[in-house]
Amino acid sequence: MDKEEQAEDWPLTTICWYAIFVWFGASLFSQSVYMAKYGIPYDANIILDSMGIFAWIVIGIEIVVWVSLLVLVAFKLSDRFSNIEEKTIPSDTI
Protein backbone atom coordinates (compact mmCIF):
# COMPACT_ATOMS: atom_id res chain seq x y z
CA MET A 1 0.00 0.00 0.00
CA ASP A 2 2.41 2.59 -1.22
CA LYS A 3 -0.23 4.85 -2.62
CA GLU A 4 -2.37 6.95 -0.38
CA GLU A 5 -5.98 7.09 -1.40
CA GLN A 6 -7.13 10.63 -1.86
CA ALA A 7 -10.71 11.52 -1.21
CA GLU A 8 -12.27 13.05 -4.27
CA ASP A 9 -14.20 16.27 -3.96
CA TRP A 10 -17.91 16.17 -4.52
CA PRO A 11 -19.05 17.34 -7.92
CA LEU A 12 -20.70 20.73 -8.07
CA THR A 13 -24.02 19.20 -9.07
CA THR A 14 -24.07 17.06 -5.93
CA ILE A 15 -23.37 20.06 -3.74
CA CYS A 16 -26.11 22.04 -5.50
CA TRP A 17 -28.61 19.19 -5.04
CA TYR A 18 -27.81 19.00 -1.32
CA ALA A 19 -28.16 22.78 -1.00
CA ILE A 20 -31.54 22.69 -2.70
CA PHE A 21 -32.77 19.79 -0.55
CA VAL A 22 -31.63 21.53 2.65
CA TRP A 23 -33.24 24.82 1.57
CA PHE A 24 -36.50 23.10 0.65
CA GLY A 25 -36.57 21.02 3.84
CA ALA A 26 -35.85 24.06 6.00
CA SER A 27 -38.64 25.95 4.28
CA LEU A 28 -41.14 23.15 4.88
CA PHE A 29 -40.02 22.73 8.47
CA SER A 30 -40.27 26.43 9.30
CA GLN A 31 -43.70 26.63 7.66
CA SER A 32 -44.95 23.65 9.67
CA VAL A 33 -43.61 25.08 12.94
CA TYR A 34 -45.24 28.44 12.20
CA MET A 35 -48.55 26.75 11.40
CA ALA A 36 -48.35 24.62 14.55
CA LYS A 37 -47.83 27.73 16.65
CA TYR A 38 -50.23 30.19 14.98
CA GLY A 39 -52.63 27.94 13.07
CA ILE A 40 -52.23 29.82 9.77
CA PRO A 41 -49.51 29.78 7.09
CA TYR A 42 -46.97 32.54 6.58
CA ASP A 43 -48.17 35.81 5.12
CA ALA A 44 -45.42 36.56 2.63
CA ASN A 45 -46.29 40.25 2.32
CA ILE A 46 -45.95 40.89 6.05
CA ILE A 47 -42.66 38.99 6.21
CA LEU A 48 -41.19 40.87 3.25
CA ASP A 49 -42.38 44.23 4.62
CA SER A 50 -40.78 43.51 7.98
CA MET A 51 -37.45 42.65 6.34
CA GLY A 52 -37.16 46.00 4.59
CA ILE A 53 -34.32 46.29 2.08
CA PHE A 54 -33.04 42.79 2.97
CA ALA A 55 -36.17 41.35 1.39
CA TRP A 56 -34.68 41.95 -2.05
CA ILE A 57 -31.57 40.01 -1.05
CA VAL A 58 -33.71 37.08 0.10
CA ILE A 59 -35.79 37.26 -3.08
CA GLY A 60 -32.59 37.27 -5.15
CA ILE A 61 -31.24 34.22 -3.31
CA GLU A 62 -34.51 32.38 -3.81
CA ILE A 63 -34.51 33.18 -7.53
CA VAL A 64 -30.93 31.88 -7.79
CA VAL A 65 -31.97 28.66 -6.03
CA TRP A 66 -34.94 28.10 -8.35
CA VAL A 67 -32.90 28.88 -11.48
CA SER A 68 -30.11 26.54 -10.36
CA LEU A 69 -32.70 23.82 -9.72
CA LEU A 70 -34.11 24.26 -13.23
CA VAL A 71 -30.63 24.22 -14.75
CA LEU A 72 -29.66 21.07 -12.85
CA VAL A 73 -32.84 19.29 -13.91
CA ALA A 74 -32.28 20.36 -17.52
CA PHE A 75 -28.70 19.03 -17.42
CA LYS A 76 -29.83 15.76 -15.86
CA LEU A 77 -32.52 15.30 -18.50
CA SER A 78 -30.19 16.14 -21.38
CA ASP A 79 -27.53 13.76 -20.01
CA ARG A 80 -30.11 11.03 -19.53
CA PHE A 81 -31.46 11.31 -23.07
CA SER A 82 -28.01 11.57 -24.66
CA ASN A 83 -26.80 8.52 -22.70
CA ILE A 84 -29.82 6.48 -23.77
CA GLU A 85 -29.00 7.10 -27.42
CA GLU A 86 -25.32 6.19 -26.90
CA LYS A 87 -26.03 3.00 -24.94
CA THR A 88 -28.58 1.65 -27.40
CA ILE A 89 -26.96 -1.16 -29.37
CA PRO A 90 -28.39 -1.90 -32.79
CA SER A 91 -29.69 -5.43 -33.15
CA ASP A 92 -27.53 -5.92 -36.25
CA THR A 93 -24.32 -5.97 -34.20
CA ILE A 94 -25.57 -8.54 -31.71
Annotated domain spans of the chain: 12-83
- What pTM did the predictor assign? 0.52
Whether 34 contacts 42, CB under 8 Å: yes
At 94 the pLDDT is 59
SS3 string, the chain, reads CCCCCCCCCCCHHHHHHHHHHHHHHHHHHHHHHHHHHHCCCCCHHHHHHHHCCHHHHHHHHHHHHHHHHHHHHHHHHHHHHHHHHHHCCCCCCC
**Tens digit of each residue's pLDDT, the chain (94 residues):** 555 666 678 787 788 788 888 988 998 999 999 899 989 888 888 888 888 889 899 889 889 888 988 888 888 888 877 766 655 566 665 5
